[in-house]
Structure 1
Amino acid sequence: MFQKTTRPAQPAPPAKQEILDGAQVNDAQDELEHYGKTPAKEYSWRLALLQAYLLVWALGATGKLSPSAVIGQINENIARLQELAVLIRAKKEQNPPILY
C-alpha cells in the first residue's frame, strides 16, 4: 500500500585533511571570483570564503595552509567585508526603498 520513501544519500563531509589543505577555501574562492560581480554578491560569497578560512583555523591549520597565512586571509576578508558593507549601505541610502 504505502511505498517506503528513502532520502537521497547525503554527500560525505570532506575529510579533515582536505579541509586543512584548503579544499573548501579553494571552492569558496572560485565561487567568489565567478559570482561576486556586485558589492552585495561579493559580500555574500566573501562571507562563505571567510567561513572556510575560519573552519581551517578552528581545525588547527596544520595542512598546506599555514596558521599565519590563514590569519592573514581572515583579516583581509574581514577588512573587505567592512568596505563592502559601507558601499552597500551608501547605495541603499542613495536609492531608498519605495514603501507603498
Structure 2
Amino acid sequence: MTALPRAALRRLLLTWAGLLALLGATVGCALLPLGNWNGVLSLAIAAIKAMLVVLCFMRLRGLLLVVVMVAPLIALALMFGLTHADYATRVWVAAPWQVPVPE
C-alpha cells in the first residue's frame, strides 16, 4: 500500500473536518427554533456538504462539474413545474356528504 502525498492527505483531512463541522451545524440548526428557516438553512448546509464531496472525493472538474450541478436543478424545476401544473388545472369537486359553501 502506497502512502498518500502530504498535500492529498491534508486536503482529505480538511474536507473531513469541514464535513464534521457542517454535521454539527446541521444538528445545531435542528435544535434552534427558526420556524420556516430551519428547512432553508438545513438545505443550504446540505448543499455545501454535497459540494465538498463532489469536489474532493469525486474530483469533478470543468464540464462534468457543470453537468453534475445543473442536472439536479433542471430535474427540480421540472418537478415543481409539473406539480404546479397539476395543482392549477385540478377541478375541486365536493364530496356528496359535504355541505356546499355559500358564495
TM (norm. structure 1) is 0.37
Bigger Cα Rg: 2
Higher relative contact order (CA 8 A, sep 6+): 1
